[in-house]
Amino acid sequence: MNSVYETLTEAYKLTDSLPRPYTTEVSMILTMFISPERIESFNDDELYLAFVRTIIDNRENVSFPDSGDLFEKYYLDCIRLKDQIKEETVGNAFPRESWLDCCIRLLENLKTPYYAVYTEVLSCLKTCFADTDLFGQTLKAFYSVLIRSREDTLPLIQYIGQHGRGIFRQGMLKGQLLSDLMIHHLSVFADGKELWVHRLAHVLHMEDCRNKETLLLTWLGQEELFLQTVSDSGELPLSAWLSACGGWVRQNVPASGKPVRFISEWTSAVSEPGQSVPGYLRPASEALIRNLSKVDSHFLNTYAYNMNARSYTTNPAIGREQEIKDLELILISPKKSPVLIGESGVGKTSVVEGLAWLLQKGDVPDLLKNKTIFKLTTTSLLSGTKYVGEMEERIKQLTGELEKYPDVILFIDEIHTIVGAGSTESSHNDISNMLKPFIDRGDIKIIGATTIQEYEAYLLPDRALARRFYPIAIEEPDEDMTLKILRGTLPSMEVQTRVHNGFSEEETLSVMKTLIRLSDKKNQPEGRITRLPELPLTLLEMAFSYAALESRKTLVIEDIIMAVRHTNLLTKEVRMKAENYF
Q: Quick: pLDDT tens for 81-98.
A: 888 777 766 666 777 887
The mean pLDDT value of the chain amounts to 77
Highest mean pLDDT among 56-70, 255-269, 548-562: 548-562
Flag the least confident range among 126-140, 168-182, 227-241.
Answer: 227-241
**Identity of residue 505:** E
Using DSSP bridges, classify how beta strands 408-413 and 445-450 pair: parallel, antiparallel or unpaired. Answer: parallel
Tell me which of 300-309, 335-344, 485-494, 554-563 is least confident. 300-309
Confidence (pLDDT) at 471: 92
Rounded Cα distance between 218 and 374, Å, is: 30
User: What is the pLDDT, as a whole number, of residue 474?
Assistant: 92
Q: CA–CA separation, 415 vs 458, rounded Å?
A: 9
Question: What is the C-alpha separation between 314 and 37, in angstroms, rounded?
Answer: 62
Please determine, for residue 133, whether its predicted confidence score (pLDDT) is greater than 80. Answer: no
Q: So what's the pLDDT on residue 231? A: 54
Determine contact, residues 238/184, Cβ cutoff 8 Å. Answer: yes
Compute how many other C-beta atoms are within 10 angstroms of the C-beta atom of residue 376: 19
What count of other Cβ atoms lies within 10 Å of the Cβ of residue 517? Answer: 12
The answer to whether the beta carbons of residues 136 and 181 sit under 8 Å apart is no
Average pLDDT estimate for 162-187: 76
Q: What is the pLDDT of residues 307-362, one digit of tens each?
A: 887 767 778 888 899 999 999 999 988 778 899 999 988 989 999 999 998 888 77
- Residue 267: predicted pLDDT: 22
Which pLDDT value is given to residue 483? Answer: 92
Range from 61-65, 89-93, 176-180, 491-495 carrying the lowest mean pLDDT: 89-93
pLDDT for 339: 93
Quick one: which of 415, 416, 424 has its CA closest to 386? 424
Measured at the CA of 280, the angle between CA 279 and CA 283, to 5 degrees, comes to 85
Architecture of domain 295-473: 3-Layer(aba) Sandwich (3.40)
CA atoms of 552 and 498, how far apart (whole Å): 9
Q: What is the predicted pLDDT for the residue at 89?
A: 66
Residue 524 CA to residue 535 CA, distance in Å, equals 10
User: Domain coordinates of the chain in residue numbers?
Assistant: 1-82, 295-473, 479-581
**What is 12-72 written as a DSSP string?**
HHTTTTS-SSPPHHHHHHHHHT-SHHHHHHHT-HHHHHHHHHHHHHTTTTS---S-HHHHH
pLDDT in tens, 242-271: 777 777 777 776 554 443 332 222 222 222
pLDDT computed for residue 285 by the predictor: 29
**Strands 304-306 and 372-376, bridge-based pairing:** antiparallel
CATH T-level topology, domain 479-581: Helicase, Ruva Protein; domain 3 (1.10.8)
Min mean pLDDT across 223-232, 374-383, 454-463 is at 223-232
In angstroms, what CA-CA distances link 263 with 231, 249, 254, 266? 16, 10, 12, 9
Average pLDDT over residues 282-302: 50
What confidence tens digit (pLDDT) does each residue in 104-118 have?
Answer: 878 877 777 777 777
Residue-level pLDDT at 353: 92
Strands, E assignment, 143-288: none
Q: State the average pLDDT over residues 192-212.
A: 63
Of 229, 146, 228, 129, which Cα lies nearest the Cα of 181?
Answer: 129
Cα separation, 390 vs 377, in Å, equals 17
Radius of gyration of the chain (CA): 28
Model pLDDT, residue 92: 66
Residue 519 has φ and ψ, to the nearest 5°, of -85, 5
Angle of helix 321-332 versus helix 348-361 axis, rounded to 10? 70
pLDDT of residue 203: 67
With H, G, I as helix, E, B as strand and everything else as coil, classify residue 409. Answer: strand
Query: CA 560 → CA 212, 488, 499, 544, distances in Å?
Result: 28, 18, 13, 8
